[in-house]
Amino acid sequence: MSLGPGLIAPLLTPFAPDGSIAIDLFVEHARRLLDQGCVAVTPFGTTGEGPSIGCSERMSALEGLIKGGIPPRRIIAATGTASLADTISITRHAEDLECMGALVLPAFYFKAVSDEGIRRYFAEVAEAVTIPIFLYHIPQVAGVGVPISVVKSLFARFGHIVGIKDSSGQWDNTGRLFDIDGLTVYPGSEVALIKALARGGPGCISATANINASEISGVIADWNGGLEDRAAKRHARAVALRHSVEQYPVIPVLKQLVARTSGDRRWLDVRPPLTQLEGPEVDSLLDDLSSSHGRRWLAL
């Protein structure tokens, strides 16, 4: 079970004017990112506003991606919720559709829970399915993380818990995960990509893949092709672009940029509690990207 080295894109989720998921745009965007070098896509993660999307919506939209021609073996569905029962249900559905894997958050509503409680949550999910599972560690957003000791315990017990996405942004934590022999580790950003590749990692899962897939995937290809100097230069450009984007609310920014490149205003919509980026913020962002990175996005 391996995709091989490469970039995984956590898909933005487009919404229609009535608030439903715009499946046509969803499929189109996934196909575009795969064509630009991504080895897989992950719907319904943080970037895809997953916690704001209902269980039945996720399952229906996942079916829509596959019916639209996105190969299930190139989909790692984000299935984690605050409810164990819902997480199992969504994960089983991804398994039934023969998705390549499931990316699973810890239950994130109750805080200051014990390591044993986190371990039991993941263990019950793993006992209910056989699909490859990637744990998802993003404590600064979820409020609950996946401690190293829990990762080690779960990885030793369940053969289909195969990896982790570490979006903590803390290399000390990511480096310790790489010390777990056989565990597949994806940093949740291209910022740590070169360090991860040097440790034998396959790549990263990055929100900015939605707008910069070719450059980030090029870093991985160059590194694995022995072109380390060229990989380092591409990496510096990709990180600089990410830092520019991170000055603004990231999901609305990415949707604004995809809307401009695609010409489809439906991409501008986000679900509450998020709000659209508009007015002076948009102008400032576009000026920054144009002047600092030579990147121009079409006006809507």
Q: Which residues are catalytic?
A: 46, 109, 136, 165
Q: What 3-state class would DSSP assign to 78? A: strand
Burial 249-278, CB ≥16 within 10 A → b, else e: bbbbbbbbbbbbebebeebbbbeeeeeebe
Tracing tokens 């249900």 back to the chain, one arrives at 89
Give the DSSP letter string of 240-252. HHHHHHTTS-HHH
Neighbours of 291 (CB within 10 A): 10
Nearest to 259 by CA among 216, 298, 206, 212: 298
Angle at 51 between CA 192 and CA 240, to 5 degrees: 25
